[in-house]
Amino acid sequence: MQLQEILYSQGFGTRRVCAGLIQQGFVQVYRDDTNAAPLVCKDASAEFAQVGLRFRVQGVDWPYAEKAYLLLNKPAGTECSQKPSTYPSIYTLLPSPLRLRPQKAAVQGVQAVGRLDQDTTGMLLLTDDGKFIHRMSSPRHHVPKVYEVTVKHPLDARQVEQLLAGVVLDDDPKPVRAAACQAVSEFQLRLTLTEGKYHQVKRMVAAVSNRVEGLHRSRMGGLALPVDLAPGQWRWLSAADLALVSRE
């Protein structure tokens, strides 16, 4: 694939903009030897194999990714929306190329896999792979999501038992059950769900006569939120990470 097309596919702007970056010497390409410094390439039509390609644009290193899979540690006070109403968007935490990756659909760039409320923190996946979004979001696939819940009132065994047995939410007569539930401390609950209804954790806790004061998603599938990933930071997901996160 031509270098100009590669940059375009990775969200660095229109084909003309990408050609300009290359011709002005702002793009360097790594050779197969990973220890070697990247070389400036000023030929927009130069051909490169995409698989395993690494390049540098205006001083920032990038891997070629046919599809982008990201993990973000969502901070409090942010909205999972391209057009937030009150709080800053999570998408402002990402570099421009990830937000501008071309899509066949009207919306460009990576999209959140499900949403977290503005006051909920923790693990959030983003991708431009629509099939992955569907697979991770569909309740039919039963991907477990683990939440660390801080509650207002002291927990008791009855509340844990009710959450495991199932509680009825106001918009659905069918009981909603936690896949796992553990009182970690008097005011801390670890709750595992395999579906994602609107405000589900808060409504389930309210159904057992308690109230959520803090909510943090710590795990999806078999992948835990890395302890060294600070709120607001993101990283690429590896193939091993994707295998873990898809594990039921």
Catalytic-labelled residue, pool 32, 43, 61, 117: 117
What is the phi-psi region of residue 221: left when phi exceeds 0, alpha when psi lies from -120 to 50, beta otherwise? left
For residue 117, indicate whether it is catalytic: yes
Concatenating the DSSP letter of every residue in 139-187 gives GGG---EEEEEEESS---HHHHHHHHH-EEETTEEEEE--SEEEEEETT
| CA Rg value for the chain | 21
Distance (Å, whole) CA 214 – CA 185: 14
Distance (Å, whole) CA 23 – CA 18: 9
Angle between helices 157-165 and 200-207 (to 10 degrees): 120
Reduced to 3 states (helix: H, G, I; strand: E, B; else coil), residue 25 is: coil
The number of beta carbons lying within 10 Å of the beta carbon of residue 215 is 23
Active site residues: 117
